[in-house]
Chain A
């Protein structure tokens, strides 16, 4: 049997101001009918470029520098633009990452499906409609006939992704390129979508190229896998073999960085250098008297309570309701209950992991604690004293300093127009922790040292740093206020796994050194397992269960927690074969 897809020695080049940039280099790949082949790698690995090259949709000014793309023995690079466009949909189709944005919001599902079907066949509207209904049913949409007339925004995220899959399927392609098809979805939905893809490959014999950064997804459904880094193939082969007995050091490092759901590591080991090497002048630039030890001593010198004397933060019966706009100047407003009588506590020097899917209210909880959102009922006690809620908490209230926060997206949490020195120095000035400019400089440089950044970083602006470096800066900014309580809201979910491992290591170290109490929010159970002493599970604004972490991961009490744990893709097959 002929291979469905073969890539031979494929390279894609983007001309830039600084000379040509090779996005992918010498890629070889073969795919059979009904096979699911995973492309895995971190950002910048060139995964999506391979997808674009197969589709013939490499954005200008990029171009295929060399190599061959064959589909069923047909040379795709020999096709002219028109013939290639005819092929799209008919033979090759795509599934995009975010179902919120991959459907046209102004057209009904029916419009979009029928148009696509009729684009490639001579079917009448009625025939196309019948086919569309059948497809929606096949992809798992109930009451498909009635829902055809609806618009994309009327579907939930998971349902929308099913519509997207139906759209990719409706022309009966032989090959589907799925670019991070489940990254934007909650784990429960992710599981269902992956099963659907698996079934389509088996029943219809469609070949899938599955692009993902998530090794869990690779382990779960792919037959074969290619590991990419910096546009080059590190390793490829059968999934069980590559992930089970990784031959390349990069694959091993990548896998060591993945947090495991079934095992708590003290520290992530064997982490590759993913940041570019720094030049000597970059490293030798120092502020006089600044060092990590200085920062460490200074942070420990603050008046801080001892570990172990009871809960540092208690939340009792917290309700948060968000109101939409009033229909008009008067009239009742519709309230959305983001949190409903949530009670939990964080012990001093411990990490409480808060787990929840999107919409569970976990970020709202963080905002209520720092005083960004005003709860409608309930109370919060910090260090034994009730905490004023919302705007009642004065700017001068001690908790404003003692509770600090690290946000999810390091790209938007740092002010792009200020230097790192100003960003990290602001809490020092605001809380009066360092009076003179020289003191502040020394502290900023020292804290940067503490979070393993070169001191010279203080002279730069945020855009000059990568996501992981930015997150270190965000941690430094939180730390410099001498907090006792740190809230980390999904601090690593915007980062690659290797960077995630580094940031988690950093947080663990800081927590151990300074005895910080941390509220650690994440949707990723495996990450929480690595970090948390205790856990709390939220669902639709309600607390499902809370308790010590190890007991939770061994034997969760609530039905919902069990379900969550079961649905999280695990690398069980790998740890069985001696992972780490």
Chain B
């Protein structure tokens, strides 16, 4: 187990190095940082001095090493746009995105998995067909349309739920959470549903097709032929086997939710990383963008590591070698 995790960790380090190189290259080759920082009337001598101060005249490798060192020690530099430290900017935004992503994942799992099981086991039934067709509609409509529709229905017409922002947040250390107040929780509902619909449909269809495949395997037929209780056949034997591939996809999707919640965040004016990313693109805020890139890569790497460890726990075939003979 430890060896397995260490190997995966080592591989992750290589991935992160590659991404950081990309981020560094972006920093270095997209525009001249000095030009961006100074005004038009700054003299050439001043510019040179600044260049020297910033270490831009050092060999590229030295600069990259410094960039890596800064990343590792959490010294992310300053935004061109707001002149604030990037670390603080991201930290203040991250909880919003993580909470939103987490809740929408939860919604998609709590509804998606049972719906997948149901549609797999009653595949001919009217209810199952209805669910499938409805979710097909859900998956075909773009996220922002769903968001706007929800805002119109629950926010404008019915007036039940807030349509923008996070509501009242409670600070726990530096982490601002929406979970601790009624208004925060209410503000979460619409954006989380919007973000979770696609994920929900995907989870449901994946669980359904995996479950159907597993139900056709010999070991399920054998379990039925031995007279094992159908409940155990479905949940103990079939479901666990269907979850193995489902976990990979859910993991990757969760990474995607966090990284690309941009559309949902802008529809609901959700003060998360997606909005920050959007603003930064508009102002060509290279330092923020490159840190964002590294951070998202880190999130993906961590999720993948978790998925691998889950595999290890669930599937004995990964864990235990067969004996010879």
- Residues B210-227 near A (CB distance < 8 A): 217-219, 221-227
Which A residues touch B317, using CB under 8 A?
A: 105, 151, 153
Known: A55-B225, A93-B226, A104-B237. A154 touches B219 (CB 8 A): no
Closest to B229 in A: A119
Q: When A88-B227, A154-B320 are in contact, do A106 and B241 touch as well, CB less than 8 Å?
A: yes
User: Do A89 and B225 have beta carbons less than 8 Å apart?
Assistant: yes
* Assembled-state Cα–Cα distance A524/B323 (Å): 27
List the B side residues contacting A248 at CB < 8 Å: none
Within 8 A of B (CB), among A96-143: 96-98, 101-108, 115-116, 119-120
Does chain A have a CB within 8 A of B84?
A: no
Whether A171 is near chain B, meaning CB under 8 Å from some CB there, is yes
A85, A150, A155, A156: the one contacting B227 at CB < 8 Å is A85
Closest Cβ of chain B to A167, distance in Å, is 6
Given contacts A106-B240, A106-B316, A328-B10, contact A101 B217 (CB under 8 A): yes
Across-interface contacts of A151 in B (CB, < 8 A): 316-317, 320
B232 located at the interface, meaning its Cβ lies under 8 Å from any Cβ of chain A in the complex: yes
Q: B227-245, CB under 8 A of A: which get 1 and which 0?
A: 1111010001100110000
B322 / chain A contacts, CB cutoff of 8 Å:
153-156
Task: Report yes or no: A96 in contact with B320, Cβ–Cβ below 8 A.
Answer: no
Shortest beta-carbon distance from A401 to chain B in Å: 40
- For residue B325, CB closer than 8 A to chain A, the reply is yes
Tell me, yes or no, whether A519 is within 8 Å of chain B by CB.
no
Q: Known contacts being A85-B230, A86-B227, A151-B317, is A101 close to B323, with CB within 8 Å?
A: no
Out of B11, B218, B226, B314, name the residue touching A106 (CB < 8 Å). Answer: B314
Report B196 CB to chain A, min CB distance, Å.
28
Find out whether the CB atom of B218 lies under 8 angstroms from the CB atom of A98.
Answer: yes
Instruction: Please give the distance in Å from B128's CB to the nearest CB on chain A.
Output: 15
CB distance from A556 to the nearest CB of B (A): 24
* Cβ < 8 Å to A, chain B residues 55-93: none
- A171 in contact with B222 (CB, 8 Å): no
B315 CB–A CB distance under 8 Å: yes
The residues of A that contact B229 with a CB separation of less than 8 Å are: 119
Q: How many whole Å from B126's CB to the nearest CB in chain A?
A: 17
Interface status of A327 (Cβ within 8 A of chain B): yes
What is the bound-complex CA distance between A151 and B320, given in angstroms? 8
B16 shortest CB reach to chain A, Å: 15
- A328 and B7: CB pair below 8 A? yes
Asked, given contacts A106-B315, A115-B232, A154-B323, whether A93 binds B225 with beta carbons under 8 Å apart, the answer is: yes
Interfacial chain A residues near B230, Cβ < 8 Å: 85
A171: chain B residues within 8 A (beta carbon): 226-227
Q: State in angstroms the CA–CA spacing of A116 and B236 once bound together.
A: 13
Residues from chain A with Cβ under 8 Å of B223 in the complex: 104
- Chain A residue nearest to B219 (CB atoms) is A104
Residues of B within 8 A of A89 (CB): 225-228
A-side interface size class: 35 or more
B89 to chain A, nearest CB (A): 36
A94 near B: Cβ within 8 Å?
Answer: yes
- In the complex, whether A261 has a CB less than 8 A from a CB of chain B is no
Let me know if B228 and A327 touch, CB within 8 A: no
Shortest Cβ distance from residue B323 to the other chain A in the assembled complex, whole angstroms: 6
Rounded to whole Å, the gap between the CB of B213 and the closest CB of chain A is 12
In the complex, which of the residues A107, A119, A164 contacts B237, with contact meaning CB atoms closer than 8 Å?
A107
User: From residue B246, how far is it (CB to closest CB) to chain A in Å?
Assistant: 14
Q: Which residues of B contact A96 (CB under 8 A)?
A: 218, 221-222
Q: What is the bound-complex CA distance between A129 and B314, given in angstroms?
A: 23
Q: Across the interface, which residues of B come within 8 angstroms of A156, CB to CB?
A: 322-323, 325
Q: Once bound together, how far apart are the Cα atoms of A347 and B225, in whole Å?
A: 53
Give the chain B neighbours of A119 by CB distance below 8 A.
Answer: 226-229, 232
Residues of B within 8 A of A108 (CB): 316
> How distant is A114 from chain B, measured CB to nearest CB, in Å?
12
| A572 beta carbon closer than 8 Å to chain B | no
Are B316 and A153 within 8 A (Cβ)? yes
Contacts of A105 in B (CB 8 A): 219, 241, 315-317
A258 within 8 A of B: no
A193 at the interface (CB under 8 A from B): no
A89-B232 Cα distance, complex, nearest whole Å: 15
Q: Which chain A residues in 150-186 approach chain B with CB under 8 Å?
A: 150-151, 153-156, 164, 167-168, 171
Is A57 touching B224 in the complex (CB atoms < 8 A)?
yes
A167-B7 in contact (CB<8A):
no
Report the separation of the CA atoms of residues A529 and B317 in the bound assembly, to the nearest whole angstrom. 40
Residues of chain A within 8 A of B222, CB atoms compared: 94, 96, 102-103, 164, 167
Inside 8 A of B11's CB, which chain A residues have their CB? 328
Distance of B215 from chain A, by nearest CB (Å): 11
Residues of B within 8 A of A115 (CB): 228, 232, 236
- A107 CA / B218 CA spacing, docked (Å): 15
A215, CB-defined interface residue at 8 Å: no
Bound-complex Cα distance A119 to B236 (A): 14
Residue A240 at the B interface, CB < 8 A? no
Which residues of A lie under 8 Å from residue B224 when comparing CB positions?
57, 85, 88
How far is the CB of B316 from the nearest CB of chain A, in Å? 4
**Minimum C-beta distance from B232 to chain A (A):** 7
Residue of B nearest to A100 (CB): B218
Q: Determine the chain A residues whose CB is within 8 A of the CB of B7 once the complex forms.
A: 327-328
CB of B106, distance to nearest CB on chain A (Å): 25
- Distance, CA A105 to CA B217, complexed state (A): 11
Q: How distant is the Cα of A89 from the Cα of B320 in the complex, in angstroms? A: 30
In the complex with contacts A105-B316, A115-B232, A88-B226 CB distance below 8 A: yes
Q: Does A564 contact B (CB under 8 A)?
A: no
Q: Given the complex, which residues of B lie within 8 Å of A55, measured CB to CB?
A: 225
Residues of chain B within 8 A of A168, CB atoms compared: 226
Closest to B315 in A: A106
Shortest Cβ distance from A147 into B: residue: B323
Q: Is the CB of A104 within 8 A of B241?
A: yes
Q: Which residues from chain B contact A153 at a C-beta distance below 8 Å?
A: 316-317, 320, 322
What residues of A have a CB within 8 angstroms of the CB of B315 in the complex? 105-106
Nearest 6 pairs of A and B residues by beta carbon: A89-B227, A88-B227, A89-B226, A94-B225, A151-B316, A102-B218
18 residue pairs A–B, Cβ–Cβ below 8 Å:
A55-B225, A57-B225, A88-B224, A89-B228, A90-B227, A94-B222, A94-B226, A103-B219, A105-B316, A107-B236, A107-B237, A108-B316, A151-B316, A155-B322, A167-B222, A168-B226, A171-B226, A171-B227
Q: With A103-B219, A156-B323 given, can you name 5 additional A-B contacts, CB distance below 8 Å?
A: A85-B230, A88-B224, A94-B226, A102-B222, A151-B320
Q: A residues bordering B, Cβ < 8 Å?
A: 55, 57, 85-90, 93-94, 96-98, 101-108, 115-116, 119-120, 150-151, 153-156, 164, 167-168, 171, 327-329
